[in-house]
Chains A and B, each alone.
Chain A
Amino acid sequence: MARPAAVARSPIPAFGSTDVVAGWEVSQTSRTSQGATLELIDCMPLTKVLVRGAASGAVADLLKTPFGRASRTLSGVLTTACRPEEWTLYAVPGSAPRLIDKVTKRVPAGELVTLLDITHGRTLVRLTGSRGPDVLCKLCGIDLSDAVTPTGAALRTSVARLTVELVRDDRNGVCSYLMSCDRSYGDYFFGALLDAGTEFAIEPQGFVLPGI
């Protein structure tokens, strides 16, 4: 079957051969590197929706995620609150219109809420592995211990001198961080993380559905 045409690309250059997933050109994960103990995944295809609204209003009631936390209160959606009165929703590729519609329907007339599809405006990567905190502590000043930033912690801070949204979102009991920065810094950010992780045998990985 002919390969479908890609309509979008990540700012992170492809490593190895490529495939098309949900309209995105993604790097193919090589068979030899599957099961790596420390991996950095280019998650650019995931839907990202920015929500701004009052801390006590219909949107806050719907998202149920206070400042500084991340949760999965909406089905299949990771909601993060890295700034007061602001949330970012992460979901499977191509789901932004449905997500925006779902939130819009819950907002009563007169409540001021901003919804913006920022899928293509932010670079998103996931760092998974027990040595993840060792990589990040080389690049940022946050206390990454379980006591201070357990799974479900969400914050905005400086990582590799960039403003980054950092979310601890463990997968199957393994330490994992979801990180996003402005799209244009994506290539640099991915490279900085790979450099910091070299001593821990970090491996870059391509995006695989569902990815969230």
Chain B
Amino acid sequence: MILIPCPNCGPRNASEFRYVGESIARPDPNSATQEQWRAYLYERVNPSGWTTESWFHRAGCGRYFKIERDTNSNEVRAVRLEPAAATKGES
């Protein structure tokens, strides 16, 4: 079992969460080129090592948050909630 430390609920089984993906800065829709949009939508770094990613606590508090995770060891360090506007979504 992989434990994911939710900032609201504490450590829970990874099956309670939805993996949202690597955190990627959203380009400005008014000025971004098609290549930039495609990169934003489809391209990922997929590092072997530390990465920052978003998770959604589907079966718990229903909030999005970010963690830093080592993809080799599943060790997790810094955890933080997403900004308020992005944290209330699905029920």
Contacts and interface: CB of A to CB of B under 8 A. Distances in A.
Given A67-B8, A141-B1, A155-B9, A84 B61 contact: yes
Contacts of B1: 141
A157 B60 contact: yes
Contacts of A158: 13, 15-16, 59
Interface string B62-77: 1100000000000000
Contacts, number: 30
A157 B59 contact: yes
A83 interface: yes
A50 B61 CA distance: 15
Interface residues of A, number: 10
A9 interface: no
Contacts of A85: 88
A69 to B, nearest CB: 13
Nearest to A85: B88
A155 B10 CA distance: 11
Contacts of A156: 9, 59-62
Nearest to A50: B91
Nearest to A140: B13
Nearest to B81: A84
Contacts of A83: 60-62
A163 interface: yes
B60 A141 contact: no
Nearest to B63: A84
Interface of B: 1, 8-9, 12-13, 15-16, 58-63, 88
15 contacts: A67-B61, A83-B62, A84-B61, A84-B63, A85-B88, A141-B1, A155-B60, A156-B60, A156-B62, A157-B9, A157-B60, A158-B15, A158-B59, A163-B58, A163-B59
Interface of A: 67, 83-85, 141, 155-158, 163
Shortest beta-carbon contacts, A-B, top 8: A163-B59, A158-B59, A141-B13, A158-B16, A83-B61, A156-B60, A83-B62, A84-B61
